Amino acid sequence: MERTRKKKIPKERIVIFCVALVVLGLLIYFLSDVFFPFIKLEASRDFDGARDLLMDRGFIGFLTVTLIEALQMVVIFIPAEFIQLTSGMSYPWWLAIILCDLGVILGSSIIYSLVNVFRFNRGALKQKDRIHEVERLAKAKSAQAFMYLLFIMPIIPFGAICYYGSGKKMPFRRYLFTCATGVLPSIGTSILMGTAIKTFIAESLPIWALILVIVFSGALLFTLIVIVLKKYFLKDGSIAQFLLESLKKAVAGILSLKVKFRTIGGEAVRELERPYIYLSEHHSWLDAASLYQIDPGNGMVGVINEHIFRIPVLGKLLRKSGQIPKKLFYPDFVCVKNILKAVKNGTPVAIFPEARLSTDGGPSYINDNIAGLVQKLRVPVVLVEIRNNYFLAPKWRKGTLRGVSEAKVKRILQPEDLEKMSREELADIIRKDLSYNEFKHRISDFYSPKKAKGLENILYMCPHCRTLYSNRSRGNTMTCRHCGKQYHLGCDYHFLNEDIPTIYEYYRKIRAIEQETLSEISLDIPVDVKIFKDQVRKVRKEKGIFHLDAEKVWFKSSVSDLYFEYTVEALEGIAYSPNEEFELYYENELYYFYPKKGERTVCTRVALLFEMLKGE
């Protein structure tokens, strides 16, 4: 009887199978003392602990990076950015790239064996629908070219791309070469950011330098992405939205190094039918990131200071992706029109009704107009209380402290609820739910040695001797140069052993002192002026005097015949940046007023006095 001839397994598959077994054995060997601790650190986003773990292990740390990168490819729902950032923080950039790329080679080899030796059903992957959608739109003619396209687009995990490629009729060597080279732009960007973050966390790199590194490295990757998208995609209109979503994810990842975001009641929002409106108080620039965490995939757009849209590249990206510009404290019907348009298209919109960052950590004035707007929209309104952000990144201090940001959904008003209320009743509810005072509900302590840095930019008067602009800060202490009075900030953000316990109450004390002579106030401030006009890149410059008294504000140029004035009643508000400038609109042009250097603490005083004159 003739023997049945056995089918011979190709040597290539045997080699791949043996490699997979070796990798599996190494994984088991390291599970007890490296993998479990590292995965635990990953889950808690503890980059410092992960970095220390790798560096303490020496050569074992090298293997750990490579093997975890491989594991994160095979198990595609584990994000790979963590190990790439951590390796960039732990090792020289060139070594980190080699280790991560070796992990990609291992992981892609294991995936190839799973699909071609063990016949793993790659169609069961959750990412297959997204890949097929991209494949439908793409013009790439070969599987290899399409894999390069997927690798350059940071929307699909590396592992899912390898599962896709391993099922195509592609020689193993070409497949492996494609995987090893296709991931380099993304890995290089993550590692460069990790290297910058290492220096930033050590506090030897200022925040502006970190942002510059991130923007530069991100710009290189985004430029490559745009080139590829324009070459291979039929639909160019989605590029801006895609790039902005990628930027949001990158910013969220960077912020998570210092800030742990958590939400309370987010499940109810994620169950809502879109669109809906977010309303929140506004204590820090971090607030937008906190709202984003409630439902990261909802495609939310925000109402943003119109001046930010003047920033080259970023401004164009914001406009094309649907973000909504708003002229601060100035009638802006175009903004309302754009909000209506976004809602009509089913897009959630985030609005900060206070229209300014809180100076003292307490609530600011909210105009009744917001109630009329949301009633007109006839969609659910989500009222959110954001906690701790004032302590993490207040407007008066550069840099961000480590801590927790908490976004709590306080109330969801359905359209039928809005119909039953008068405008005044709804306005009262909004003010009540958003009247959050950070100092009454602090949720953590802060141990930074520089908490008071920049505090004199808002606390411009010493209430002890009533001297203006005499405070100076260093470390956690603010001192009046006139009388020597000192205020020390403790880890609970309260002043130690003082009759004025908090920044909020200190600022209210200044307000009370100013109230005594408010009717007699008359300020003449020499200023340099920058004037921004809609759709005009060139900035006009002026010099002159800005005047504020109990009845009006005016500006008179000293170099031209420019003059304008507002009554206090007619002007809606004056926005400002501490120790930099104050600003307002006149005849649809934005005026930035810069007092002389060394005298710019007056910016806070101008804004406060005007609020008081308006009765806010």
Confidence of residue 4 (pLDDT cuts 50, 70, 90): very low
> Higher-confidence residue: 144 or 57?
144
580 — pLDDT class (breaks 50, 70, 90): very high
Helices (H), 481-560: 503-515
Are β-strands 471-474 and 477-480 bridged in parallel, bridged antiparallel, or unpaired?
antiparallel
Residue 568 has pLDDT above 90, yes or no: yes
State the pLDDT confidence band at 25, using cuts at 50, 70 and 90: low
pLDDT at 6: 45
Q: What is the C-alpha to C-alpha distance for residues 27 and 23, in angstroms, rounded to an integer? A: 6
Instruction: Please say if the pLDDT value at position 251 is more than 80.
Output: no
**Cβ pair 368, 406 in contact under 8 A:** no
- CA dihedral over 84, 85, 87, 88, signed as positive or negative: positive
Domains, the chain, in order of start with CATH, read 11-192 (no CATH), 258-440 (3.40.1130.10), 455-515 (no CATH), 519-614 (2.30.29.30)
* Predicted confidence band of residue 237 (pLDDT cuts 50, 70, 90): very low
Higher pLDDT, 246 or 542: 542
CA distance linking residue 67 with residue 472, whole number of Å? 52
Spatial contact of 590 and 583, defined as CB atoms under 8 Å apart: yes
Range scoring the smallest mean pLDDT among 17-26, 119-128, 280-289, 478-487: 119-128
CA dist 325 and 528 (Å) reads 25
| pLDDT value for 431 | 94
Closest CA to 383 of 358, 352, 361: 352
What is the per-residue pLDDT across 307-362, written as a single tens digit (0 to 9) for each?
888 887 778 778 877 899 999 999 899 999 999 999 999 999 999 999 899 999 99
| Segment 62-72, tens digit of pLDDT | 777 787 788 77
Whether residue 479 has pLDDT greater than 80: yes
Alpha carbon 207 to its chain's center = 13
**Overall average pLDDT of the 170-195 stretch:** 84
- Which tokens go with 240? 């801006």
DSSP for residue 611: H
C-alpha 130/C-alpha 132 separation (Å) is 5
Mean pLDDT of 11-21: 56
Mean pLDDT score, 113-138: 64
Where is average pLDDT lowest: 87-96, 241-250, 268-277, 344-353? 241-250
The two three-digit tokens of residue 398, written as one number:
């550069």
289-313 mean pLDDT: 86
**C-alpha angle with apex 533: 529 to 536, nearest 5 degrees?**
120
Question: Quick check: 438 pLDDT over 80?
Answer: yes
The DSSP code for 383 is E
The 10s digit of each residue's pLDDT in 86-99 is 677 677 778 888 88
Give, as one character, the DSSP assignment of residue 344.
H
Q: Which of 126-130, 484-488, 564-568 is the least confident region?
A: 126-130
CA distances from 71 to 40, 62, 296, 298 (A): 15, 14, 26, 30
**pLDDT single digits (tens) 454-476:** 999 999 999 999 999 999 999 99
